[in-house]
Amino acid sequence: MNDVHGRQGPETRKRILDAAEALFAENGLDATSMRMITGRAGVNLAAVNYHFGGKDGLIQEVFRRRLTELNRRRLAALEALQAEAGGAALRPSRIVKAFFGTALEMAADMDGGGARFLQLMGRTYTGPNEFVRNFLAEEYAECVDRFLTELYRALPDVPREEILWRFHFMMGATSYAIGGADALQLFTGEFDDRDPARLEPRLMSFLLGGLRGPLPEVVSPAARRSVA
């Protein structure tokens, strides 16, 4: 066995990743030092550079690990819907639920660690760190693209640009839904209903309401052509 001696194989990597994930979520990327990470993980300081090439490599791997799994589940849910529909266009509510509901599911999973990770991801996605943002976008690209394609098909009368924006708004609402229970109670004082089982229908109602909202009147002056 490999429990007491130094060389303990892939165990060290996992301990570093777990510690880093928790600390990143708690303090943010910049405010979390290598010494904090290796200290909590119980490994040597140099281990991060050895296994991940540096702090940037570690950050990337922390995100990649969970994000790959999340998007795998999302695509699985989407493919299940597609199989059920047999070529017909999907219902928008199903598509939205497959994408955002899966995130909420994952936030509830993972014995509490999932919520923290998704909270971290929501922050980072709009955060200032361009390096991580670009990396996240790349990891997201294929999954988002397939969901958007399905949404376009489900809402053929809605301009694609409009769907794109609303998808973006939905991401924002979901990000706050996952990460912001703390923020919510800040301006209310008494407030403790953070049961994730109730959060899911609450968020879905809101997202679907927003998605189905009436299209805004296009008041672009360029659109008033050929009146003369």
Residue 74 or residue 166: which is nearer to a copy of itself going by CB? 166
Shortest distance in whole angstroms from residue 155 CB to a copy of itself: 13
Binding residue for DNA (CB under 7 A) from 14, 50, 159, 184? 50
Shortest distance in whole angstroms from residue 206 CB to a copy of itself: 4
Shortest distance in whole angstroms from residue 165 CB to a copy of itself: 5
Binding residue for a copy of itself (CB under 8 A) from 45, 80, 88, 137? 137
DSSP-derived secondary structure for the chain: --SSSS--TTHHHHHHHHHHHHHHHHH-STT--HHHHHHHHTS-TTHHHHHHSSHHHHHHHHHHHHHHHHHHHHHHHHHHHHHHHTTSPPPHHHHHIIIIIHHHHHHHSGGGHHHHHHHHHHHHHTSS-HHHHHHHHHHHHHHHHHHHHHHHHH-TTS-HHHHHHHHHHHHHHHHHHHH-HHHHHHTTSS-----HHHHHHHHHHHHHHHHHSPPPP---GGG--S--
Quick one: what does residue 27 bind among a copy of itself, DNA, none, with the CB cut-off 5 to 8 Å set by partner type? a copy of itself
Q: Does residue 78 touch a copy of itself according to CB under 8 A?
A: no
Shortest distance in whole angstroms from residue 1 CB to a copy of itself: 38
C-alpha separations of 58 from 1, 29, 52, 79, 131 in Å: 27, 11, 5, 32, 13
Quick one: what does residue 93 bind among DNA, a copy of itself, none, with the CB cut-off 5 to 8 Å set by partner type? none
Stretch binding DNA (CB under 7 A), from 45-53, 64-72, 98-106, 159-167 = 45-53
> Six-digit token pair at 30?
């910049």
- Binding residues for DNA, rule CB under 7 A, total 25
Residue 51 or residue 73: which is nearer to DNA going by CB? 51
| Contact positions vs DNA (CB under 7 A) | 2, 5-9, 11-12, 32-36, 43-51, 54-56
| Contact positions vs a copy of itself (CB under 8 A) | 25-28, 30-31, 119, 122-123, 125-129, 133-134, 137, 140-141, 144-145, 161-162, 164-166, 168-177, 179-180, 182-184, 186-188, 191, 193, 198-199, 201-220
